[in-house]
Chains A and B, each alone.
Chain A
Amino acid sequence: MNIRNVKLIIAREYITRVTSKSFIWGTILTPVGIGLLMWVSGYIMTQTDSKVFKIAVLDDNNALKNHLDDSKTFAFSFQDEPLSTLKKQVGNQKYDGVLFVPKLDSIQESKITALYYSDKQLGLERSESLSSRLGKALRKYKMKTLAIDQKTLDIIKTSVSINPEPIAEDGKNRSTMTSTIAAAIGGVMGFVMYIVVFVYGMMIMRSVMEEKTSRIVEVIMSSVKPIELMIGKILGVGAVGLTQLAFWMVLIPVILFGVSFAMGGAISTMPNTELTQEMLNNPDFLAGNTKITQITYEIMSLNWWLILPLFVFYFLGGFFLYASLFAAVGSAIGDDVGESQSLTLPILLPVIIALYIMMAALKDPNSTMATWASIFPLFSPIVMPARLAFDPPMWQIVASVVSLILGVWFFAWLSARIYRVGILLYGKKISFKELGKWMFNNK
């Protein structure tokens, strides 16, 4: 292997890619796009109709008048006129609708169907809001009738949480939140790996195909060995990927922070303030501030000295393993795009399966499937990072690391064998049988 050539190839791959317009725009526009998406979806969420619906209430119980309060979206007026008159008044635009609450047969009745007369649809949100307001009003009415006050009601409620405690002396103390946070961190890590394998693997495949179809390989091959070109390309594209990720790691949080800051005002004007009001009455929510400190504590208490280096290891291992496979497939594909699909499928399949196993592993990180998948080198780069926050047993980490190193070595070797034959072969459709021959034929 000629290191000078590999360096030259890496430099060319890196410089031509990083200076290309598509890279610059992709690096800038992806975070901007994510920010825009957040902003647009946030904007749409806040854009509920702020119009106040005037609703005539016809209450057969004659009991709700003092319990049903107006809100930002509804103005209730209790009427005694017959339903038909009220309906007409809806037609005359005096009201937006008529709410008819039928008589409760007895105080025990736990289910009631109220009727809302209007030609205008209420919409999901208003409909839910209306039913919850009516429910609350009925509850107040029932409490009054049964002579129960709010205090008594609060006494009945008991909030329960389960706190896991380790038995082993050196076990770490953890709260219920630990697994939630571990799942969130693990999910993000696993997903980043999935994207990396997909995006940059495909980038390598396309670039190999381009070299082959543009017939540049024959020229390059008369100066460098196929393995040098393959390694140079993988390292070059890998460096491009790291550069892009580094930009995104800075740009995306900055843009998201900017968006949430810009939207801060809009969120407080959301019509569902009643919900937040309710939350404020909830003692659990009042403890929210301490919860945030608890989350921070939980995140800090994870063993980052182990997780971060391992994440980098799986990042590199997964990238090299799949990049070499994609390079091999790219070399075997001719000018035929249809052919590329049948040949890329065997590589995409393990990536996709790994993603599903990763998601299942988040729910049950110590299942047999999750354990074995995090040792199997085709799955481990995606599954294991997701499990790291769950503190898997040491033997599994060691087994996984060793098998990934062996896996990278094996698949790179296999790919190199396919690559050096495929890259110089033109105008021939390549079958799997032939790929097998290239792998194990020494010529």
Chain B
Amino acid sequence: MVELGNLSQYAALGFALGAIILLVGGIIRNDFRYIMGGRRALAFTPLFTTMAALSLTYLFATDAFQVEYVMSYSDRALPFFYKLTAFWAGQDGSLLFWVWTLSLFAAVVAFNTRNELEQRPTPYIYLVMAGCMVFFLFLLTRVTNPFELLPFTSRDGRGLNPMLQNPGMIFHPPTLFLGYVGFTVPFAYALGAMMGGNPDESWLKKIRVWSVLSWVFLTIGIILGGQWAYVELGWGGYWAWDPVENASFIPWLVATAFIHTSIIQERRNIMRVWNMVLIVLTFVLCLFGTYLVRSGILQSVHDFGATGLGGYFLVFMAGAALLGFGLIVFSYQRLRSEHSIESYLSRESTFLFNNVILLALAFATLFGTMFPLLSEAVTGNKVTVSQPFFNRVNTPLFLLLLLITGLCPLIGWRKASASNLRKNFLLPAAVTTAGGLGLFIAGIREVYPFLAVSLSIFIASTIFQEFWTGTRARVRLTGEGALIAFPKLVWKMRSRYGGFVAHLGVVLMVIGITGSYAYKQENQATLKQGQTIAVGDYTLRYDRAGTYSDRNREVQAAEFSIFRDGQYLDKMRTERRFYTNAEQPTTEVSLRSTLLEDLYVTMPAVGENQEVTLKVAVNPLVIWVWIGGFVMVFGGIMSIIPRFTRREIIPHV
């Protein structure tokens, strides 16, 4: 299997290199046969990368500890399912997963463009895809090979990091990778369009699904990462503005900006240069994220930094940036739009300002992340830039973004009249004022939480107004009842309403984030059996403790009774686990989650006489962060579901 894996990687590299040679030959000689050959070579690479991926999976499943990578991330006691997911626990497997998905995407692109071979951008698109694949396959075969053998066969492996033995970690890395890899396709199409001399709107239409789907995967990856941090790390939060978290959030922000302005370009043929810049930037930032993670240049809570791959990524990233931005400069005259924004009071201009804020957020996050390096280089002083800094700098920008998100649906395309705006603005403004007053009476008076929730109410009311106006128009046109007209309207105009659903998800997330950060209550105490600890309306009584052994760990467990306002509610149990392969114990979070709040319990220490140190927190509205994330992802997917039927002709009644 090791040989098969190795050979498959080399074969994939050979085919990708072959594709490049044939494509370059085809472009230079203007020979269609070469381009066909290059396309075939590209389409064959997934065959070999799949074989390599299956080989590695088999080696993990069979405890092949003569392979260094398997020995480093698995052991005999590891549950079978985690053995399979240990595939992407380290750098080598992650890169193999990356190249496997990239090759599959390349094959899909080759299939989708089967009837477009005569179009000038097509061979360039293949060329960019093949170029990216060669880079990753080079790393896999020459620098960080997952099939590297040890000089001996180890009796057991080092095992998987206990923190990665969590369901969230099974899906978090692959979804992030799918997001990162997915943006290679829009990047390839953008470069193809410029190199092929045809940078009009056609490339954008073809990559809409790719860009939204990549954004969806990136969103899922980020949310799952937050969820994992919440249930596994035991500090009671889900986002710490850690450099590695930021590394995924920065391209997400730029990709979000791109998805918004690409809609404008599709509808109005404007912002062509802007969109090219955004998609090149998104791809480069995806690479930058990987560089940040793999170079170990910044200290992070993630422990997989400093692997020596940073230099390679830096060179590749610089090459991609030079090529992308160079082509934009070179194609500038052809990229210039024929049309333009007609009025400040138009949806186009709100999209433009939404872009400015998203990019400012990305820049602020990037600058803050890199500032420790800059400070050390300039002053020689080491500083730390963490959560408080990012909250201080980014929160005003987020609030401004919420305001623009709310205003956007109120303003029509091209040029909105002031009277129309007033008419549209009236209801949301009234609802927001009433909501704000309600918040004030309810005691929510701190500036940021008050503004965040009020603006969320504003966005939600503008979205519901949109749904209501559309449904009413359909009822008027078709004579259908509102209950039938509403789902039909949403389904038939899903690309438009999918966006609104995604914005509703943002609203839910903002409410969850505001509640959980601004109104968190916590307490910590060391208890003897029978003693209690109180936090908010809850009281926890420490009932009993015990120890037991599981497959790959020794466990100290403690059980509690929970009371709310004196009434018994439930029992909870929290653990400290001592994994055989880890020096430090891990704390297992005990969670009681409702729609209103989470009761979050961890046990940082157990004393010699069974006294336990408990950290208890009441985190309001956290569940809405996950629900909001799900709604956002659902909205994104909804907006790209293709049309299956012919367009319905609505009869006039």
Q: Do A and B come from one complex?
A: no
**Interface residues of A, Cβ cutoff 8 Å to B:** none
